[in-house]
Amino acid sequence: MTYSDQGNSWRNDGGLQPHAYDPYLHPELFRGVATRRVFAFLVDMIVIAVPVILGYLFIAVFGVVTLGLGWALFWLAWPASVIWAIVYYGACIGGPHSATLGMRVMDLELRTWYGAPGYFVLGATHAVLFWVTLSFLSPFVVLIGLFNGRRRLLHDFVLGTVVINNSVRAPAVAQPAKTY
């Protein structure tokens, strides 16, 4: 039994399948990915932080208006911030571009090792695993990306994902045929 989604993405017949993105055959897919990921992360942190800061400011002003009663909502702010970040990553990576807003600005795309686009659960898990591994193994998460051809970080290895240069992967626009 073989499942085919644009070229044998998943096989149940025991056959081995190579990675869809080989850094030796297509090094241009991984050129500059590590640097771009840093800047994409910074853009994503801004996108996540702005609504969180606005939420905290709203609660502060609401607390003043309600003579302190509204400040009881501060205990909801941190869990809401975490949920917002997880939903942001899940929705963006699970969307049609398979990239967060920061990744789209830096022209990056997250794919599975076999070439399929991201999906919501993968995006949410990617974010959670990134923050957990960063909390415990801070320098090693990033250092691993410097010593492998695909520039994968620790959580990319665990989840089986690859971040590639989207501009290189995008097909060239074909010219329409002349009809004269």
**Collapsed DSSP state (helix, strand, coil) of residue 4:** coil
Which residues lie across from 162 on neighbouring strands?
A: 111
Helical H segments across the chain, by residue range = 33-65, 74-93, 101-105, 120-136, 138-146, 154-159, 166-169
Residues 112, 6 contacting (CB under 8 angstroms): no
Average pLDDT of each block of 10 consecutive residues along the chain (180 residues)?
47 62 87 93 97 97 95 95 97 96 96 92 96 87 86 91 83 47
Q: What is the DSSP letter of 148?
A: S
pLDDT at 5: 47
d(CA 139, CA 133): 10
**Collapsed DSSP state (helix, strand, coil) of residue 163:** strand
pLDDT at 19: 77
Task: Work out the end-to-end distance of the chain between its first and last CA atoms, rounded to an integer number of angstroms.
Answer: 48
pTM for the structure as a whole:
0.81
